[in-house]
Amino acid sequence: MEMEYTMKTKIIMIVLVFFTSFLLSAETVLLYTMVDIDVVDEQQFGDLIESAVMNEFFDAGHIVFNADISGAVPDRGMDYYKESDSLQMAKAGGAAFILEVRLTYNEVKGKSLPDFAEYRFINVLSGNMMDEGSVSIDKKLVEKYDLEKGMAVMGSEVADSVLNYL
């Protein structure tokens, strides 16, 4: 009798653990950043915003991986291509969603500094854009040259804007 009770308990525990894992849903997101090579510290700024966005997604329990493109960002906008590089990468990597982030710069005292980040949040399976917008960097932090904090805040705001869709 004791052995039978122990076996039933183990089976129930295994089934509970198995079904509980289905309740914990984590989405896979590709974070795709675009930076302009004409800006001296573009990779540093790209890394800072990526780090902030990824931290927010990890804290929310989602799987996120990153990719970026360095080069001149085309003036014609992000909707020029039928199937963008980011969509192709997301499909190849098994991501369910893409968060595209493009940094825009402004000339401040002879230096190109981040001004705002445009973003688009896309469902990979349907190709539908779920959200888009822009987030400005805190001008007071730019004036103090505290760009690391400014990029972190801006990245967090981008992530917070789209996390409610997951």
Could you give the number of structural domains in the chain? 1
Assess if residue 85 is contained within a domain: yes
Exposure string for 9-42, b = 16+ CB within 10 A, e = fewer:
eeeeeeeeeeeeeeeeeebbbbbbbbbbeebebb
Per-residue pLDDT tens digits for 73-99:
555 555 555 677 788 888 888 899 999
At 160 the pLDDT is 94
Q: Is residue 71 part of a domain?
A: yes
* 146 within a domain of the structure (yes/no): yes
Domain membership of residue 5 (yes or no) is: no
Instruction: Look at residue 6 and tell me if it is in a domain.
Output: no
Q: What is the pLDDT of residue 1?
A: 46
Residue 37 belongs to a domain with what CATH number?
Answer: 3.40.50
93 CB neighbour count, 10 Å cutoff: 13
Q: What is the pLDDT of residue 5?
A: 60
Tell me which residues of the chain have a pLDDT lower than 50. Answer: 1, 21-23
pTM to 2 decimal places: 0.74
Residue 97 lies in a domain: yes
| Domain span holding position 63 | 26-163
